[in-house]
Amino acid sequence: MTAKLFESALGIAAPWSVTAVEFNEAGKVLTVLVDFKPGSRFAISGHEGAHPVHDTVTKTYRHLNFFQHECHLQVRTPRVTLPNGSVRLVEPDFAGRLSGFTLLFEALILMLAQQMPFAAVARIVGESAHRVMAVLRALCAHRTRPGRLQRGQGIGHRRDIACSRPRLRHPGR
């Protein structure tokens, strides 16, 4: 019953399923183990059809906190064999743009970064400011145009991350 509850709460659908839930009370960490059904085949973008599993890699994704406890999804991620013989890693639907985070966790970082300094965001989510900046760079990379950056200003500069912050107007205008 616990596995089904977490599947529903996390939005995990077939062929994925929650196999176990582990709670470390001392470390205040909840780990949800996610696996896929044996015999599953997976689609890869750019390649037609569903492909058989070659092997698996265990990946861990940081997810939104469960009450006051850190939550991690430990996923047995398949690598599939394509018709041309190459092997590709399948990214689950809930995986974010940056390795190690879920989409919902990245969305939380983006939402908080619109309202407060990056150091405060890092403190709230329990990650380093560098990881917060990496998430924002990954999410904003598609919105930056090559001609917009000024000399000496690289990706990740505060002006570049402006895509995640609302524009402020003077109250008299």
List pLDDT tens digits, range 15-42.
999 999 999 999 999 999 999 999 999 9
89 and 4 fall within a common domain: yes
* The model scores a pTM over 0.85: no
Range of the domain at 114: 96-173
31 and 110 fall within a common domain: no
16 and 89 fall within a common domain: yes
91 and 107 fall within a common domain: no
Contact 15, 37 (CB under 8 A): yes
Which long-range contacts does 35-40 make (Cβ < 8 Å, 24+ apart)? 35/75, 35/76, 36/76, 36/78, 40/15, 40/78
List pLDDT tens digits, range 83-132.
999 999 999 988 888 778 998 999 999 999 999 998 999 999 999 999 99
Contact 56, 79 (CB under 8 A): yes
101 and 74 fall within a common domain: no
